[in-house]
């Protein structure tokens, strides 16, 4: 099969190329999915899990991408809950070969059914931002109706999803970003927008939750705008700071069939939309992920027409 591979840990994305790989086999409780649409996170090549298996053994060259939508073509020993020919979407294991390929083996529990009226590109684009925003806001952030949430990077891929989900949950949503992100953040549903280029973060009055996508200095300074007893949840790695009476949580998104099912229901109801910036073929994927090609929104690889 055709697949994108990462060939050199030191070279990161510069070592990305299109190659021929053997088709994967379904292990116990796996399915093999024929991939129709896939996506990866831009900085995946720098993650240790891209280069080793769960036992820490080198797995160079690896297939990147952990977001997919496609059709089940094989069932592993003992696999239940999904069937041959079924449309599915979901998030695959960080330490296995991924989804920028014609076929991928994935644990069935990581996938949810994709309804027939939802395009594969939309399914693939929903997985990572949808699960990350959901888990950050509601599981780790404990956001409730009537609360105020500050969403950093509100015009970005995960941030725009967090804005939509928080608003629907009845929260007051303040988005942040660069000055030119204002309209995009408001269009996704932010009640207010705070331009980090021209405003002082410290001018924001107390919020119940900060949903952070930056870590670093902005996240540290954001601790100062959380009310006593509030939370700061970040998806960009540990923050080297603490604040009395604020719980700081950094987490990595997990697969969840129930959450995927709820997210896709909201897409079909017209309450949630994905933030797709670019759709390219597998043949054009290497060029599309060139770090110099900076685009707004998610790059989706349409593996099968």
Ligand X SMILES: NC(=O)c1ccc[n+]([C@@H]2O[C@H](COP(=O)([O-])OP(=O)(O)OC[C@H]3O[C@@H](n4cnc5c(N)ncnc54)[C@H](OP(=O)(O)O)[C@@H]3O)[C@@H](O)[C@H]2O)c1
Position among 92, 132, 147, 259 found at the interface with ligand X (CB under 6 A):
132
Position among 196, 201, 247, 286 found at the interface with ligand X (CB under 6 A):
196
Judge contact between 127 and 91, C-beta under 8 A: yes
Binding flags for ligand X, 241-270, as an x/- string (CB under 6 A): -----------xx-----------------
166-185 residues near ligand X, rule: CB under 6 A: 177-178, 181
Residue nearest to ligand X (CB): 156
Q: CB-wise, 26 or 163, nearer to ligand X?
A: 163
Verify binding: residue 235, ligand X, rule CB under 6 A: yes
For residue 164, the minimal CB distance to ligand X (Å) is 13
Give a three-class secondary structure readout of 211-270.
EECCCHHHHHHHHHHEEEEEEEEECCCCCCCCECCEEEEECCCCCCHHHHHHHHHHHHCC
Verify binding: residue 236, ligand X, rule CB under 6 A: yes
Q: Which stretch binds ligand X (CB under 6 A): 72-80, 154-162, 166-174, 200-208?
A: 154-162
Position among 158, 209, 282, 303 found at the interface with ligand X (CB under 6 A):
158
Q: CB-wise, 82 or 155, nearer to ligand X?
A: 155
Binding stretches for ligand X (CB under 6 A): 41, 43, 128, 132, 153, 155-159, 177-178, 181, 196, 213-214, 235-236, 252-253
């Amino acid at each position: 099969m055709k697949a994108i591979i990462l060939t050199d840990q030191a070279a990161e994305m510069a070592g990305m190329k299109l190659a021929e790989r053997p088709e994967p086999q379904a292990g116990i409780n796996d399915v093999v999915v024929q991939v129709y649409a896939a996506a990866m996170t831009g900085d995946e090549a720098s993650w240790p899990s891209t280069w080793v298996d769960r036992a820490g053994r080198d797995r160079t060259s690896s297939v990147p991408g952990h977001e997919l939508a496609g059709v089940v073509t094989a069932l592993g020993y003992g696999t239940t809950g999904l069937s041959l020919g079924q449309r599915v979407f979901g998030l695959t294991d960080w330490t296995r070969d991924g989804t920028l390929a014609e076929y991928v083996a994935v644990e069935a529990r990581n996938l949810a059914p994709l309804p027939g009226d939802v395009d594969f590109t939309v399914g693939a684009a929903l997985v990572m931002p949808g699960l990350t925003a959901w888990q950050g806001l509601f599981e780790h952030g404990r956001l409730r109706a009537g609360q105020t949430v500050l969403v950093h990077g509100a015009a970005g891929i995960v941030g725009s999803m967090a804005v939509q989900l928080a608003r629907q949950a009845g929260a007051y949503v303040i988005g942040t970003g660069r000055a030119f992100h204002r309209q995009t953040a408001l269009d996704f549903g932010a009640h207010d927008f705070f331009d980090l280029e021209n405003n002082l973060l410290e001018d924001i009055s107390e919020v119940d939750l900060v949903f952070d996508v930056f870590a670093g200095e902005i996240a540290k300074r954001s601790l100062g705008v959380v009310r006593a007893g509030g939370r700061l949840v970040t998806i960009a790695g540990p923050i080297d700071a603490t604040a009395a009476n604020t719980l700081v949580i950094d987490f990595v998104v997990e697969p969840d069939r129930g959450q995927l099912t709820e997210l896709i229901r909201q897409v079909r109801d017209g309450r949630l939309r994905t933030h797709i910036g670019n759709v390219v073929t597998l043949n054009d994927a290497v060029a599309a992920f060139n770090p110099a090609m900076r685009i707004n929104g998610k790059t989706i690889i349409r593996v099968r027409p």
